[in-house]
Amino acid sequence: MTGTKKLLLVDDDAGVLGALRRKLRALEVSVSVESDVLKALRRCQSEQFDLIISDQRMPQMEGTEFLREIRNLQRGTRCILLSGYCDFDAVTLAFNEGTIDQFIAKPWDDAQLLQSVRQLLGEAVPLAAGSQLFHQMLSAAPVMHQCFEQIRRIASANAPVFIYGETGTGKELAATAIHAESFRHGGPFIAVNCANFSEQLMESELFGHKKGAFTHAVSDRKGLLAEADGGTLFLDEVTTLPLELQARLLRVLQEREYRPVGDNNVYSFDVQLVSASSTRLSDAVAQGLFRADLQYRLEVLPLELPPLQARGDDAVLLFEYFLQQLEPTRKWRLAGDTARYLRNHSFPGNVRQLYNIAQYTAAMAQQAQVTPQDLPTHLMAVRPGQPQMAREAVDDGKPEWVLDELGGPQLLALLAEHNDNRTATAATLGVSRMTLWRRMTALDLI
């Protein structure tokens, strides 16, 4: 990035300011910081900035209030709001009145942050010929360009959408794109992974609860349906919902009303429902894990995301793009053998796994030219042309990746690279922690 663009970072957390400053300095812009929002406001009365990134919750003034004042002082300044909290009403109002240009949740994704800053400053990273960047999804593959067009058409309808895609193909990105392209783009976008909650907690998450409805319910709580009102609710891994909760969700969708746990009143809602799973709904229905009538309700507008392996040369395109996003000061290039390794690997974790590999490479590579030796050990353990992992069904009927090409020594080496942290190791491989545990058990490593 060239020029002398001026950025101001405002956050009462010195650690956050330091992390943002280190990352954004790579863009060759002038970065200033303020930990006191009132001092930042006084500074803006005499100093012009091209972009201001502000935290939301600060002791003296909320970020939305601060940026509202900035709009009155500096009409041409672009504004990004950061927050680790779900202040949906304040954020939605700020969007609708034009106070903020972008909202980014903490902890932020470095690539998303850098791309957002570039876009707002009008200096986006040049894209390869024939490629499209569509709401953070980059591809040169015709099959993905068709998906982009399908998303545009789906977004114009007001009907439930179901997204199918393997682990790491970008289901939440696609859901975000649907929201951004729809007439609800000014409303909240709420995402939840259904696999992360027990049945009771998931019911409370969806519908909310009254104080005293169950143990630890110390106050009234709004559910996701209420939080997403006027916007989009994204239910990921929806096939993991218990059957009893599926029945209640079906009634709610039919009647467009819900009742919080422990509440005698019913409430209406207005949301665009987008759901997704790495398991096909028809397969889950056939296995008795999902209600057929709920499938018909959720799968009105289906969207299927192709695996990375079916996207032609996108692995190389995305890898180079991720590297440039992560470390913009380097002029990255791939050695021929490196590009060949990327083309010939199946990437069972798809784009998410590829991004993890790019993070590793950006941190560890000593030169701008990436050689195969700069790639993670587990990737080098498989010879080009061989599938790294194979799909098969396990006893519980849920599809998952089985690490059939990664032997004990290679897996132990990868675990050692992550200080025996299985969660981090599984993320690098693009598989679940349970899949890693099963493979370790099979290899007598536990």
pLDDT of residue 430: 64
* Cβ neighbours, 10 Å, residue 124: 13
Q: In the predicted model, is pLDDT for residue 267 greater than 60?
A: yes
The DSSP letter of residue 371 is P
Task: Determine if the peptide bond prior to 376 is cis (ω within 30°).
Answer: no
Mean pLDDT over each residue of the chain, to the nearest integer: 82
Q: Could you give the count of Cα atoms lying within 13 Å of 83 in the half-sphere of its Cβ?
A: 17
Nearest in space to 355 (alpha carbons), one of 393, 325, 386? 325
8 membership: H or E segment, kind and range:
strand 6-10
Tokens standing for residue 113:
């942050």
DSSP state letters, 16-28: HHHHHHHHHGGG-
Predicted confidence (pLDDT) at residue 282 exceeds the cutoff of 50? yes
The whole-angstrom separation of Cα 305 and Cα 164 is 6
- 82 pLDDT higher than 80: yes
Give residue-wise pLDDT tens across range 336-369: 888 888 888 888 889 988 988 998 898 888 888 9
Tens digit of pLDDT for each residue in 401-431? 335 556 677 777 777 766 677 776 776 666 6
Distance CA 65, CA 419 (A): 44
pLDDT in the model for residue 291: 95
> Which residue is it, tokens 């929806």?
238
How many whole angstroms separate alpha carbon 128 and alpha carbon 317? 8
Region 211-226 average pLDDT: 77
For the ranges 155-169, 311-325, 370-384, the lowest mean pLDDT is seen at 370-384
CB atoms within 10 A of CB 362: 19
Q: Tell whether the model's pLDDT for residue 91 goes beyond 70.
A: yes
Mean pLDDT of 84-109: 75
Predicted pLDDT at 152 = 94
Q: What is the pLDDT of residues 163-202, one digit of tens each?
A: 999 988 999 999 999 998 999 887 888 888 888 777 778 8
CB of 29 closer than 8 Å to CB of 53: no
Greater confidence, 4 or 181?
Answer: 181
pLDDT at 386: 41
Q: Which domains does the chain have, with CATH numbers?
A: 6-120 (3.40.50.2300), 132-304 (3.40.50.300), 308-442 (1.10.8.60)
H/E run at residue 425: helix 422-429
Instruction: Determine what percent of the chain is predicted with pLDDT higher than 70.
Output: 86
- Note whether 376 and 360 are within 8 A (CB): yes
User: Which amino acid, residue 41?
Assistant: L
**pLDDT score recorded for residue 393:** 32
Tell me which of 103-107, 155-159, 183-187 is least confident: 103-107
Average pLDDT of span 141-148: 95
How large is the angle between the packed helices 314-326 and 110-120, nearest 10 degrees? 80
pLDDT at 87: 60
Residues 190, 233 contacting (CB under 8 angstroms): yes
Reported confidence tier of residue 148, pLDDT bands at 50, 70, 90: very high
pLDDT average, residue stretch 241-266: 89
Give the whole-number percent of the chain exceeding pLDDT 90.
Answer: 31
More confident position, 421 or 46: 46
Given a cut of 50, is residue 389 above it in pLDDT?
no
Q: Amino acid letter at 117?
A: V
pLDDT at position 387: 39
End-to-end CA distance of the chain: 49
User: Residue 328: pLDDT band by 50, 70, 90 thresholds?
Assistant: confident
pLDDT value at position 288?
94
pLDDT of residue 402: 35
